[in-house]
Structure 1
Amino acid sequence: MASAQWLALILALLLIIIHLLTKDRKQNKRLPPGSMGIPIIGQSLSLLRAMRTNTGERWIEDRINKYGSISKLSLFGQPTVFLTGPAANKFIFSNDSLALKQPQSFTRIIGSRNMTEFVGADHKRLRGAVSYFLKPEILRKYVGKLDEEIRQHFRTNWFGHQQVKVSPSMKRLTFNAMCATIFGIKQGTTRELLVNEFKYMMAGMWTVPINLPFTRFHNSLKGREKVGKILTRIIEEKRSALQKGQCSSEDEDLITYLLSLGTDNDETFTEEEILDNAVLLMIAGHDTTAIVLTFICRHLANDAVTYAAVLNEQEEIAKSKAPGEALTWDDLLKMKYTWRVAQEILRTIPPAFFGFRRVIKDVEFGGYLIPKGWQVFWTTSVTHMDGSIFKEPERFDPSRFEKQSEIPPYCFVPFGAGPRICAGYEFAKTEMLVAVHYMVTRFKWSLCCKDDTFIRDPMPSPKEGLPVLIEVKASL
């Protein structure tokens, strides 16, 4: 009897093993083509090397030529599927089986309650609240405050200076704009403390998440802790003001708005959620917009025709303003050519060259299986630099965006697309237009160094911070 039981058990185990082997073989046949490379390392080092040498487009092109538009690989220790093209972009930005994915270092520094870590109802709840505050109907009320912050930045950091490093200057400008309009933090000691700790926090955002003394990641965690303490104090102050009826409006800043949401329909946000998403927005609204402004400045210094067209448009608006009068939402609506220039910068030098999505359940695309637990890797350059979508893609041509309807859907994706388009898109646009207005109407500049190339680490960064010589044209 014992022998029969052992035989039955062995037979059952064999059947299970055969089933698993068959299942894996079937699954592997359905996986996209490609090599996973060296265990753990995979293709990570070659991608990072390409980014730092600014040959990322060639790296992508070589991969497509070898494996096609869908392939598997390993990046940053994770099995990955690389997808390209308009249909892939639509799949990535609209499929509920995919969720945002950030590097572990990014999540640990920001906090686990930020919206990029959520899916389903929780993600919808957080995104909905943030999107409401950043929509045009709300933003139009903050153009004046944004105008004053940007003018103050140029008064302090450009007037009286013969030379300016554009990249760090634009990062300071966008950070101050975020503090004033999104978080209601006025100029002073609190903002200066926040700026200093924010620098430490950002330094290790995309590093190996090893928390050992003297590592960039360790210093970033310490910076995040101090930023958290400052923001927690601000949250408490705004909660107290709200309870005492001392706020002129519940949507006067994002923190006050989130605190004001009631318990109806489960809209209440915890302090941890408010804190983590405030940090997320500080990062998202800081680096990307600063990068675009930096490369607009760089391009206008090299392209006299585009510079003249932008200047002409902005001077016409300036003529309609009284001395010292702030820009309005209606003024921004007139900046059509300037925004097309910004869009062309976003097409040719997108701040985010690539991104990831995590697969939360098995999903298929193009006849292949993408298993749960894998990540999807996508890049902007494939459609942005596709000659069948954008004629002569290497040529800088703002007129491409004169008729937005002629650009196929899911092809121009610097802010994402569809239901996953960046919630801060309109804020970034507003900030860029105000900054460019005062840049071109109040200053002339020229590049200090002939070598104005840049690297991606992982975002585009010009050599030496893009130093320029400044000539003041008019006061602010």
Structure 2
Amino acid sequence: MVVLLLLVLFLFIIVSVFVYINHTKSITVNNLPPGSFGWPFIGETLAYLRSRKNGTPENFERERTAKYGSPPVIKTSLLGHRTAIFCGPEGNKFLFGNENKLVASWWPDTIRKLFGKCLNTSRGDEAKWLRKTMLTYLGPDALSNRYTATMDIVTRRHIQNQWQGRRELKVFNTVRPYLFELACILFLSLDDLQQITELGSLFNVFLKGLIGLPISIPGTRFYRAKKAAVAIKKQLIMIIKQRRLALKQDVASSSDEDLLSHLLVSSDENGRFLSEMEIANNILLVLFAGHDTSAVTITLIMKNLAEHPQVYEFVLKEQLGILGAKAPGELLNWEDIQKMRYTWNVVCEVMRINPPVVGAFREALVDFEFAGYTILKGWKITWNAVVTHKDEANFPNATKFDPSRFEGAGPTPFTFVPFGGGPRMCLGKELARVQILVFIHNIVTTFKWDLLIPDEKIEYDPLATPVKGLPIRLHPHQV
């Protein structure tokens, strides 16, 4: 078995070197961005992944821009592809403003193979239709009319069952299953706790294979993630079939008026409906986007609130004011969310210092010029939110935690990009905002807490996560 694996790996490297040499010979343009393509096939991927593992994804770009005189774009090779890294707000503005013109959304092989055909991997009119269709259940109107009260109910139950009566816990490990349960309830009307738990366990494996080399050999992260993705989609298709039958027989309950039902009954302008696999792929996407990034953000918020007691007190004061204006037991509503201005400034500052997602990828649709350099058709392009957020030119005293940066007009456009921008701005931005604010309201009005591991390391694997899960000691408020 070992000999076979080594043989496969050897052949893989030989083919990769051949492709690399032939591709390099085809590049004759003189004004390519400065930088290095690194090793054949591997390129500079290992250094790129190492910077994420070390919790400093900004260093990969900083080291290279410093080496080449801080150009606005540098070339490299990541995950088997020629790649241009666009730097700073100018690069962000260019990419966000040229979507579907000069560039289009692109994701590494691992992500495309694991998610399959869905919103993230679609382009053009199909992507526009999918986005519009899904925004019906993820945009502000849906959140104000459908979801806010449900989020509050599930959050209160979670805190009662998982936080009350406990002296110590790990925040990330505790909020992640709760947010996955919430996503299943909101998007699928799924209330089978055992099935939710099984899906959640598979998601943990799935997530670890999203970023890396697409080597499908037993024992690798990608191999395990592929198996998990197949298992998740199998369960989702079973749920889809059951819902389709219920809709056909007109026995679906009012609680089933969710994203799943909407995807089943929606067709594009040509009358084409999504296949069951396409629906499963898109549900997989929103389940991922609807819980993991929020779990990371909530964990980092709680870390920062413990590290900055004065900020915690300001948040508590705002939330107690909202709580005091409501009748006992009354649920949060959309108007309450809009009042949480200071709390949202705190959330934004947390995402500035540690954006949950480093950035995203694009693909050059044609040869084009940027800042005097040529980007070739087919090259992949990436931007890095962490670098932009921690640049002193964009945020003076960038390492200082200061929520006041987001008062008034807030940061200069294209300097604060935790949700991306342009036509591809994160579809779940509003959903994440409400999820996070509902949780923070309930947790700060119930507890104060201390960190058990001060200065706990954060790694991007692939999302920004404290390596020990942020263990804390709880102090319930005296009623």
Whether TM-score is above 0.5 comes out as yes
Q: Please say if 1:294 is aligned against 2:295.
A: no
CA contact (8 A) 2:189 2:255 kept: no
Deviations 1:324-371 (A, max 9, x none): 221111111110000000000111100112322122332321222211
Q: Indicate which of 237, 250, 263 corresponds to 1:245.
A: 250
1:57 alignment partner AA = E
Instruction: Quote the residue 1:222 is aligned against.
Output: 227
CA contact (8 A) 2:33 2:374 kept: yes
Q: Please say if 1:94 is aligned against 2:115.
A: no
Deviations 1:124-183 (A, max 9, x none): 111111122211111112111111111121122111221110111121122111111122
Instruction: Quote the residue 1:28 is aligned against.
Output: 29
Instruction: Quote the residue 1:410 is aligned against.
Output: 414
Alignment of 1:46-445 (within 5 A): 46-67=47-68, 68-95=71-98, 96=100, 97-111=102-116, 113-140=117-144, 141-247=146-252, 252-262=257-267, 264-266=269-271, 268-404=273-409, 406-445=410-449
- Give the distance between the partners of 1:221 and 1:92, measured in 2 at CA: 31
Deviations 1:27-72 (A, max 9, x none): 5213112221222222222222222223333332222222212121
CA shift, 1:24, in A, is 5.8
- Give the distance between the partners of 1:66 and 1:269, measured in 2 at CA: 48
CA contact (8 A) 1:167 1:465 kept: yes
1:192 alignment partner AA = T
CA shift, 1:376, in A, is 0.6
Secondary structure, counterpart of 1:470 in structure 2: strand
CA contact (8 A) 1:146 1:180 kept: no
- Give the distance between the partners of 1:52 and 1:420, measured in 2 at CA: 27
CA contact (8 A) 1:205 1:217 kept: yes
Moved more, 349-358 or 291-300: 349-358
What percentage of residue pairs aligned between the two structures are identical? 37
- Give the distance between the partners of 1:298 and 1:117, measured in 2 at CA: 34
CA shift, 1:102, in A, is 2.1
1:364 alignment partner AA = E
CA contact (8 A) 1:94 1:420 kept: no
Secondary structure, counterpart of 1:46 in structure 2: helix
Secondary structure, counterpart of 2:37 in structure 1: coil
Deviations 1:197-252 (A, max 9, x none): 22232232334333333433232222222211211121122222222333455982
- Give the distance between the partners of 1:353 and 1:123, measured in 2 at CA: 23
CA contact (8 A) 2:208 2:461 kept: no
CA contact (8 A) 2:449 2:473 kept: yes
CA contact (8 A) 2:72 2:371 kept: no
The 3 A distance-change label for structure 1 pair 118 and 165 is same
Instruction: Quote the residue 1:14 is aligned against.
Output: none
CA contact (8 A) 2:177 2:197 kept: no
Instruction: Quote the residue 1:42 is aligned against.
Output: 43
Q: Which has the larger radius of gyration?
A: 1
Structure 2 gap segments, 5+ residues each: 1-21
Secondary structure, counterpart of 2:277 in structure 1: helix
Instruction: Quote the residue 1:11 is aligned against.
Output: none
2:33 alignment partner AA = P
TM-score, scaled relative to structure 2 = 0.89
Structure 1 gap segments, 5+ residues each: 1-19
Deviations 1:283-302 (A, max 9, x none): 12222111110010001111
CA contact (8 A) 2:297 2:350 kept: yes
1:246 alignment partner AA = V
2:232 alignment partner AA = V
The 3 A distance-change label for structure 1 pair 410 and 450 is closer
- Give the distance between the partners of 2:293 and 2:470, measured in 1 at CA: 16
- Give the distance between the partners of 1:394 and 1:188, measured in 2 at CA: 41
Instruction: Quote the residue 1:7 is aligned against.
Output: none
Instruction: Quote the residue 2:463 is aligned against.
Output: 459
CA shift, 1:189, in A, is 2.8
Q: Please say if 1:471 is aligned against 2:472.
A: no
RMSD: 2.3
- Give the distance between the partners of 1:381 and 1:263, measured in 2 at CA: 37
The 3 A distance-change label for structure 1 pair 369 and 328 is same
CA shift, 1:385, in A, is 2.0
